[in-house]
Structure 1
Amino acid sequence: MSEQLRIGVIGVGNDFRRDDGVGWAVVARLTDRAAERPLPSGTRLMVSDGEPVRLISMWEGTDLTIVIDAAQAQPPHPGRIHRVELDGEQLPRESGETSSHGLGLGDAAELARRLHRLPHRLIVYAVEGADAGLGTGLSAPVAAAVGPLAQQIAEEITQYARTANGSSDG
């Protein structure tokens, strides 16, 4: 009767650039969590290096895509989480100072908008990092944000699926 939802969760980053690996760490936490408490049917957990064409191909055709990425801010507050919902009309453009990648997520979203390849709904969680130097492992404040953010995303996609399927049951 109802079409299967397509939900994508994409962790963007690089595991070998310390806090830049936060997106991958959140996806790993969601994967572990899903073994005990499954996510809504049709949910795909993915990781990406943030290259715009790859991101667009990962989120194309989804009803909801959530992207998790590291961010730099001045002044920094490592571990602070920002939630931004992008729509087809208002896409923030990033400068090199806000993204740890050559082209920012805003650039990928703008390209996707122009190509009519944006997901129906695109939510970005940006986690402020402390250390994007070479090496593995997250800094303590960023590592502390991983579990709560994974929980928040799991709840958000579960609620989205319930609403989309016309159910208000818990």
Structure 2
Amino acid sequence: MGFDFNYMLELLPILLRYLGTTMEMAIWGGVFALILAVVLANIRVFKIPVLDQLTQLYISFFRGTPLLVQLFLLYYGLPQIFPLMVGIDAFTAAVIGLTLHFAAYMAESIRAAIIGIDRSQMEASLSIGMTTRQAMQRIILPQATRVALPSLMNYFIDMIKSTSLAFTLA
């Protein structure tokens, strides 16, 4: 039994009908994950007391457990503990799950990119009178973005593929 092109042509309209949902889920998850990842990476880079340890715990948990388990916990487990989450729909749960899962990976990529920028860049920025925030925004982050972009794109592609796990929630 080989590959059946006719069967694939029959399924094409169904696949195209759900392509929008897949892309919407991946885009929302990617945007929210990137925002959360930047926050987490900055907490890790600047070693903010207590928050740094909580961030390490968060990253270890979400990188150390499979996405499918996280989705099940989010959709089926948390409503048992927090009744407020009972009304959450499968799409929203999937976006939240994708966001939390991929933010952990993206945060480590962003942190590594920031740390990879030579320390003298920050020192030079501070020596000409920039604040730490200005130095990060104008000097460090633009360089770190160039370093982190390939891995962030890989995570976004992985997120598109991982949306297929959302069918287990509906």
TM range (shorter): 0.3 to 0.5
Higher strand share: 1
- TM-score normalised to structure 2 length: 0.32
* Larger of the two Rg values belongs to structure: 2
Higher helix share: 2
- TM-score normalised to structure 1 length: 0.32
